[in-house]
């Protein structure tokens, strides 16, 4: 399976805060600036277990491979480049990746994370200016990180020629208008798009408790706040993105990619509880007693080792017809 994307949880030490203190943005998938390396590493194994490798391989097969140059691929909202690291071996062959994000701090970690990944996998890595070049079994993968204003300058960010676009755990934080702009660009370019780990609104705590519904609804309201791209799509993102790309002439396929957080995953469960409490309280301060009761119940179950959670995501693949 594969990994990528990020979310936020400033309630945990060192896990970062979102732009404007918007703590509920996309937990379980999605992000804007202000996230920490620690949080990306914490969520990585859940992403890896969740993502649909079949769609990733279909994305690779849909790429038109030029004969005179490497594939040119763009990863939007890249964080530290985890999505590109996962996809490069699946795609195979020579690749030039442009890793775009508005968070310069996270981009600053890209090279070190690529080199550490190469060492773990037994690949050869070397710096090439600010980029990292990795070689494996006759393939050459070049990763170049670049800051970009994805909210206000998507056209400029995607001005260079490219053969495919990816964006992991990102589209649930953008607006319908942002997706419309992306669809317009894709309608002209006709390149494949892979958008994994998009939050779809399903959150299943076990055991269920009475306060789950109100807390979930308050958290969902927080997810729909403006994250810098206009009012966020939140859980509506998979359906809206799929419909908009289909209208632009793309064949769209989707698969579930749910996080499954078991009783042994106490750090992740604690992070999700804390973030959900903070976001729900910000969205619905009138529900403070309900949220406090929910938090107390969940903390007790966490301590007893009986708590588990499924967070719903969807992976989407769009290929020009």
In a domain, 9, yes or no: no
pLDDT confidence band for 35 (50 / 70 / 90): low
Give the CATH number of the domain where residue 242 resides.
3.40.50.150
Residue 40's pLDDT is 85
Sheet strands (E) in the chain: 71-76, 95-101, 124-128, 131-136, 139-147, 164-166, 193-206, 250-256, 259-261, 308-320
Tell me the C-alpha distance between 156 and 98, whole Å: 13
96, 162, 150, 57: CA torsion to nearest 10: -70
In a domain, 13, yes or no: no
Tell me the average pLDDT across 101-118.
94
In a domain, 14, yes or no: no
In a domain, 185, yes or no: yes
Kindly report, residue by residue over 169-212, the tens digit of the pLDDT: 999 999 999 999 999 999 999 999 999 999 999 999 999 999 99
In a domain, 45, yes or no: yes
Q: Is the pLDDT of residue 23 over 50?
A: no
Residue 29's pLDDT is 42
Q: What residues form DSSP beta bridges with 142? A: 96, 133
Structurally, the chain folds into a number of domains equal to 1
Q: What is the mean pLDDT of the chain?
A: 89
Tell me the average pLDDT across 76-101.
96
What is the value of pTM for the model shown? 0.89
In a domain, 5, yes or no: no
In a domain, 3, yes or no: no
Domain that holds residue 290: 19-320
Kindly report, residue by residue over 266-320, the tens digit of the pLDDT: 999 999 999 999 999 999 999 999 999 999 999 999 999 999 999 999 999 999 9
Q: Is the dihedral of CA 149, 150, 153, 154 positive or negative?
A: positive
Q: Is the pLDDT of residue 16 over 70?
A: no
Q: How many other C-beta atoms lie within 10 A of the C-beta of residue 225?
A: 18
Residue 27's pLDDT is 56
In a domain, 134, yes or no: yes
Count how many residues are written for the chain: 321
More confident residue, 9 or 210: 210
Tell me the average pLDDT across 95-123.
95
């Amino acid at each position: 399976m594969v990994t990528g994307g990020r979310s936020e949880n400033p309630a945990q030490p060192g896990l970062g805060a979102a732009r404007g203190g918007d703590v509920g943005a996309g937990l379980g998938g999605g992000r804007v600036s202000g996230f920490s390396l620690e949080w990306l590493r914490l969520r990585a194994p859940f992403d890896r277990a969740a993502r649909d490798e079949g769609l990733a391989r279909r994305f690779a097969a849909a790429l038109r491979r030029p004969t005179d140059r490497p594939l040119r691929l763009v990863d939007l909202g890249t964080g530290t480049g985890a999505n590109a690291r996962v996809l490069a071996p699946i795609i195979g062959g020579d690749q030039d990746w442009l890793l775009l994000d508005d968070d310069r701090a996270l981009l600053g970690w890209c090279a070190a994370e690529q080199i550490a990944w190469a060492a773990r996998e037994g690949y050869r890595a070397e710096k090439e200016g600010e980029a990292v070049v990795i070689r494996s079994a006759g393939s050459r993968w070049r990763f170049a990180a670049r800051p970009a204003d994805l909210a206000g300058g998507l056209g400029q960010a995607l001005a260079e020629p490219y053969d495919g676009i990816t964006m992991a755990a990102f589209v649930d934080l953008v607006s319908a208008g942002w997706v419309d702009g992306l669809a317009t660009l894709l309608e002209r370019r006709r390149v494949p798009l892979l958008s994994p780990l998009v939050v779809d609104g399903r959150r299943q705590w076990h055991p269920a408790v009475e306060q789950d519904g109100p807390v979930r609804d308050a958290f969902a309201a927080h997810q729909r706040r403006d994250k810098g791209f206009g009012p966020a799509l939140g859980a509506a993102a998979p359906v809206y993105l799929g419909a908009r790309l289909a209208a632009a002439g793309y064949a769209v396929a989707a698969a579930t990619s749910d996080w499954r957080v078991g009783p042994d995953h106490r750090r992740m469960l604690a992070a999700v509880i804390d973030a959900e409490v903070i976001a729900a309280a910000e969205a619905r301060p009138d529900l403070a007693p309900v949220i406090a009761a929910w938090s107390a119940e969940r903390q007790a179950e966490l301590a007893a080792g009986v708590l588990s959670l499924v967070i719903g995501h969807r992976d989407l693949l769009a290929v020009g017809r």
